Structure 1
């Protein structure tokens, strides 16, 4: 009887298109992962800093991530529109075909990257977990939210490449600053 009550659990309206990350720690994010074959998806992988020595921006880890992205996006028919690799997390803006292909892409990309980072393709890793949280996904509904996420990922990439960051960036950028990102 108790298990059946979890089936009827609906997420809070703010989180109905989000799943994973820190939401998983509360009851708000424990429903099924919302995925869409029509709308773009913002995907974030957060890495545990203790498990990754030199961060994700090191040349070895960065090339591993780009190589795996190319391989598995073509295998599972997922289009990677934009990605940004930071020191401890990765942002992706993807579009996919079937729900099962997107799920397989998430599962295989996370697993292969963790195996590549720990150099344990055939044995179980005894060290700390590679991923800090489950992958965060958010289905993006509408053009304006799509622009915001696209600009946010571009801003993260510019900051990873040496642009100074500020706390005011979270409140929004002017039109000129946004145009400066894409130059």
Structure 2
């Protein structure tokens, strides 16, 4: 009886497995963050473009973000299956063993990045306002097809950050050969 009472929560079915980001501005995004230790989680962190000059692909900031992702993934026992650092956002495909460890990872990673950015003497003059645009966006990835789509999407983002031309239709309409080329894409000198 008690478990069935939780089913009546006012969550839009499309956003049942999502939390944070722009959803937070609306009432449907203000529920507890859904987390799963069995399914992978797609995590997106978005920065204010005006707060960090040069974006996340700036060599110093890029190196800092890579170090922080690896350090806190080890500390909180989070397996990072794939990640892509863009100019204004970061995509991560992760798995965790415990809910509390995942929550700590979501809290500490952005916090340590912001703290390192504001505490660095060289970068202090370049910080203008809040570093993060929204709270971390998470989505539980259900099923193998959804998992493949997220993996391909993150890979496409990484290729575009490395110089692949942007396409309007993105993953829609890509053949299996084009997806295979996507995974073999290397930046041309």
TM surpasses 0.5? yes
Distance 1:38 1:73 in 2: 17
User: More displaced, 60-69 or 167-176?
Assistant: 167-176
1:141 aligned partner: 142
Unaligned runs of 5+ in 2: 1-7, 122-126, 185-189
CA deviations on 1:34-85 (whole Å, 9 max, x unpaired) are 0101100000000001110110001101100110011110000000000000
CA deviations on 1:72-121 (whole Å, 9 max, x unpaired) are 10000000000000000000000001000000001000100011122269
* Deviation, structure 1 residue 166: 1.2
Q: TM-score, normalised by structure 1?
A: 0.90
RMSD of aligned Cα (Å): 1.5
Q: TM-score, normalised by structure 2?
A: 0.87
Equivalent runs, 1:9-158 vs 2, <5 Å: 9-119=9-119, 127-158=128-159
Distance 1:172 1:161 in 2: 22
Distance 2:111 2:149 in 1: 29
Q: How many aligned positions are there?
A: 172
Distance 2:173 2:61 in 1: 31
Unaligned runs of 5+ in 1: 1-7
